[in-house]
Chains A and B, each alone.
Chain A
Amino acid sequence: MEILLIIIIGLLHAGGLYMLLRRSMFKMIIGLILLGNGANLLIFLMGRLVKGHPPVIEDGLKVFTEIYADPLPQALVLTAIVIGFGLQSFAIILIKRVHRVLETDDLDELNSTDEEI
């Protein structure tokens, strides 16, 4: 299973980079989100896969008695997801704004700094 996940991580990174290199700003955001997903999955995988043992201490116990999924990558990924959302939503609104003012989706048309906003 890990091999499949690794392939997916590679695919997400490849797709994310490809989309990031496009001239369309919309595609750039898609690329950003794909990259974000890939990175999250990568970090998650680094904590190793454990099935059916979430890092939650059972009632009545004070410490883990069985094996448990690594909580640290989970905490990191959780943070990353939330921050990623902040970034994505801001980027989405930003292109909407740019599009409304300049009526283009092409990055290369944003070269001039003198454009009246």
Chain B
Amino acid sequence: MIIAVLSGFFFAALLPLLGRFARKSVPLIFSFLPIALFVFFLTSLPLIKGGNTWISYHSWIPSFGIDLSFRLDGLSMLFALMITGIGALVFTYTAYYLKGHPYLDRFYGYLSMFMASMLGVVLSDNLMSMFIFWELTSISSFFLIGFNNEEASSRKSAMTALGITGFGGLVMLAGFVLIGHAADTYSITELLTRPEVLKSHSSYTWIIVLVFVGAFTKSAQFPFHFWLPAAMKAPTPVSTYLHSATMVKAGVFLLARFTPILGDTFWWNTTLITIGAFTMLYAAIHAIFRVDLKSILAYSTISALGILVFLIGIGSEKALLGAALFILAHALYKAALFLITGIIDHQTGSRDVSKLAGLRKVMMPVAVAGFIAALSSAGFPFLIGFLSKEVMYEAGLQFGEWAFLLTAILVLTKILLFVAGFWAGIKPFSGILPNEFQKVTLPSALLWVPPLLLGTLSLLFGVFPSIIEQALIQPVVSSMTGKESPIYLALWHGFNLVLLLSVITLLLGFFLYVFLKPSEKLFSKTLRFENISPENIIETIGSYFSIFAIKWTKFFQNGYLRNYVITILAFLTILTAYRLFGGVNIYIDWKQISVITPSEIIVVVLMIISIFFAILSTSRTASIVALGVVGFANCLFFLFYSAPDLAMTQFSIDTLTVLLFMLVLVKLPKNKTFSSKRIRIRDAVLSLLFGTLIAILTLEVFEEPSSSEVSKYFADNAYLLAKGRNVVNVILVDFRGFDTMVETVVLVIAAVGVFSLMKLDLNPSKKE
């Protein structure tokens, strides 16, 4: 199974090498991969029969509990089949749709990367690897949405999508970490065996909130829904693939996956039902105010996702069955509608539903596909959409005291979706063909066969539900409920309330379709509410955030190194000072302190004077001389306190530095004061504080007993091991010989640098 998941990545990696060749000669070759994967999953169907699972385990980072383990059960099988099946159709479709596009191979690379990540998401058994694949889908979809990278709007919507879904993914990661913390495992299989651990855990509420944010952003639930209509800037195959069948359903998948683990609690059900119900109605209303075919489809997709979330929220067996059926039904008809929209756009150059009409005369097969898809979307009998709708209504009606309200919302949504589906699938083909479209022709079969195939499947599953009943849907439901639950799909349930509702839906939907005509006027009415739409609010927040970021950066990253130093040191000083005030006793152990002799006093006074002189003098020469005195005073200290080697080194080095300074800088002008008095006072205060802090810290360390084991080792063994009497020298050339060697190298580098800088002469004219 690992090969199945990762093959998409390998394929994408191969494309830069082979792409150029394949793009020109045989673009269809790209479809081979999804078809092969589809067949692979199809043949694995018997493995999951009756709620069985197939787990394949590969260790990855065992120390963090992260594995590449994959789990194939009903739910992941359903998604894997959709991903690869619709993937195969989209791959084929693209071969013609983007024929001759200069970046076709790149497009396929992104597409197969996306497909592989999507498979990873639905098959992962480990929450961490699921998160990684989840973010990979966001990233690869970013490239796909922004594929027309020359258009600013395309880039913007790609950014929006990445921002929203990426943000959601990170929130979800936090939820996963909490889960891992609470249950002590990241494995879904293990979580499934003991769901009560998480439900009774104290951070349960946090976990579901975080997981919800992840699922809602990905599945475009209110208030994160707006990235999806914006993402319609992508080429139509992308919209088909990402926004009907796969990526947006990842959120639904997540919720379905966690239903047996986290579900069936008050907060879980209430939140999902509320958000789902609101989203489905809100988006359905939006859908019928649009005139752009793709916008209609985008909003009806959001609405459909709302229905799914709603059904998972209800959480009864019926509702989950409805969700499983609807996932499949929606993928089949929505992908078909998107593909058809793509064909219409490709052939006529228009997606305006108020203008398109009568196209059946020129592209009959497409019209048939559109007809079936629209009927399935509306839920006509003998189509899979009908089955899902029936089960849905039944689930709604069974939901206790709120049943009436919830079913009413569901029916209303369904009526509106009926209209939206008809507009997309039937309206462009019915009526009289306008003159401007007379010359439109039927495109290559590569374009119209995929939607027709999807339509056929809708019909096939609708007439003979037994094909999928036991083999696919039953395992899906049992993987969501966590137990064996026999299901029964039928076309005819007898005369009951559900049937009545179905009839009402169809009738009202049809009336609405007949009387309501899509037009720009309706669309412009909705613009009035733009100011309070979540999209606007989030964009405003986003722009304020970037202004804030710019100011923040300008303040802290202002390019003046000394300001960085000031910030860091001021922070350090204040922090340490705070700590020192809070309970560190400063004491001086006078027994440790050695007595002061007059000669030492003289050196100390000399040093203090010369420090101030070096700082305050306006003459360069004087500063340098003062610096020299500081160095020599230092040298005397070394001499007083038994460090003859240090004294010697310091003496020679100090002399050299002063000489070098004098020789090089004597020609420079006098010291100038660049900064204002205020800044100098500020720096002086900070420096004094810093100096005090260092002094106090030194005192603190000094009062602690020193451990001299290392020194003792060196001193004891200097002669015995290294045959040297001067311990300092022995340390440098023997015990730490390598250090000294490297140090010498550093000096050599410095010397080379000095020499080359002195000799460097790039621009002779500027020389004196």
Contacts and interface: CB of A to CB of B under 8 A. Distances in A.
B720 A62 contact: yes
Interface in A25-78: 26-27, 30, 33-34, 37-38, 40-42, 44-59, 61-64, 68-72, 74-75, 77-78
Interface in B499-539: none
A41 B637 contact: yes
Contacts of A87: 750
Interface stretch (B245-253, B348-356, B424-432, B679-687): B679-687
B664 A96 contact: yes
A59 to B, nearest CB: 7
Q: Is the interface of B mostly helix, strand, loop or mixed?
A: helix
B559 to A, nearest CB: 7
Contacts of A58: 725
B646 A44 contact: yes
B664 A82 contact: no
Contacts, number: 277
Interface string B752-764: 0110011010110
B674 interface: yes
Contacts of B640: 51
A41 B595 contact: no
Interface in A10-26: 10-15, 17-24, 26
B590 to A, nearest CB: 10
Nearest to B767: A100
B706 interface: yes
Contact of B672 (A6, A44, A105, A116): A105
B485 interface: no
Contacts of B665: 26, 92, 95-96
B754 A70 contact: no
A22 B675 contact: yes
Interface string B186-206: 000000000000000000000
Nearest to A55: B727
A1 B743 CA distance: 33
Interface residues of B, number: 99
Contact of A3 (B593, B650, B683, B732): B593
Interface residues of A, number: 89
B209 interface: no
Contacts of A111: 559
A44 B16 CA distance: 61
B599 to A, nearest CB: 11
Contact of B750 (A11, A74, A90): A90
A75 B758 CA distance: 32
B642 A13 contact: no
Interface in B688-726: 688, 690-692, 694-695, 698-699, 701-702, 706, 708, 710-711, 714-716, 718-720, 725-726
Contacts of B718: 57, 71
B29 interface: no
B366 to A, nearest CB: 59
Interface string B597-622: 00010001001100110110000100
A31 B720 CA distance: 43
A7 to B, nearest CB: 6
Contacts of A81: 646, 649-650, 653
B102 interface: no
A9 B695 contact: yes
Nearest to A96: B664
B562 interface: yes
B484 interface: no
Contacts of B646: 44, 74, 77-78, 81
A75 B739 CA distance: 11
Contact of A69 (B641, B695, B732, B760): B641
B698 A45 contact: yes
B740 interface: yes
Contacts of B103: none
A49 B641 contact: yes
B657 A88 contact: yes
B571 to A, nearest CB: 14
Interface in B663-678: 664-665, 668-669, 671-672, 674-675
A96 B661 CA distance: 10
Nearest to A117: B762
Nearest to A52: B642
A58 B615 CA distance: 43
B440 interface: no
B726 A56 contact: yes
Contact of A5 (B560, B595, B637, B746): B637
Nearest to B631: A37
B606 to A, nearest CB: 11
Contacts of B184: none
B686 A17 contact: yes
B157 interface: no
Contacts of A5: 604, 637
B743 A34 contact: no
B683 A78 contact: no
Given A2-B592, A2-B702, A23 B675 contact: yes
B491 interface: no
Interface string B579-591: 0000000001000
Contacts of B631: 33, 37
Contact of B757 (A34, A55, A93): A93
B708 A70 contact: yes
Nearest to B698: A6
B460 to A, nearest CB: 68
A57 to B, nearest CB: 4
B694 A10 contact: yes
B649 A56 contact: no
A117 B763 contact: yes
B634 A78 contact: no
Contacts of B686: 17, 21
A51 B701 CA distance: 21
A90 B732 contact: no
Given A2-B702, A3-B588, A100-B767, A18 B719 contact: no
Given A18-B615, A20-B562, A86 B750 contact: yes
A52 B747 CA distance: 32
B569 interface: yes
B706 A15 contact: no
A9 B674 contact: no
B747 A56 contact: no
A94 B754 CA distance: 8
A114 interface: no
A22 B620 CA distance: 15
Contact of A1 (B566, B593, B669, B695): B593
A74 B706 CA distance: 15
Given A37-B631, A63-B719, A92-B664, A57 B641 contact: no
A102 to B, nearest CB: 9
A91 B608 CA distance: 25
Contact of A12 (B611, B642, B732, B767): B611
Complex A-B, nearest 7 residue pairs according to Cβ-Cβ distance, in ascending order: A14-B691, A10-B695, A86-B750, A69-B642, A18-B687, A23-B674, A71-B727
Given A18-B683, A24-B674, A96-B665, 16 more contacts: A4-B596, A4-B604, A10-B691, A26-B671, A34-B611, A37-B630, A40-B650, A55-B728, A61-B719, A72-B731, A74-B645, A75-B732, A79-B739, A90-B754, A96-B664, A101-B766
5 contacts: A13-B687, A20-B565, A50-B641, A75-B732, A75-B736
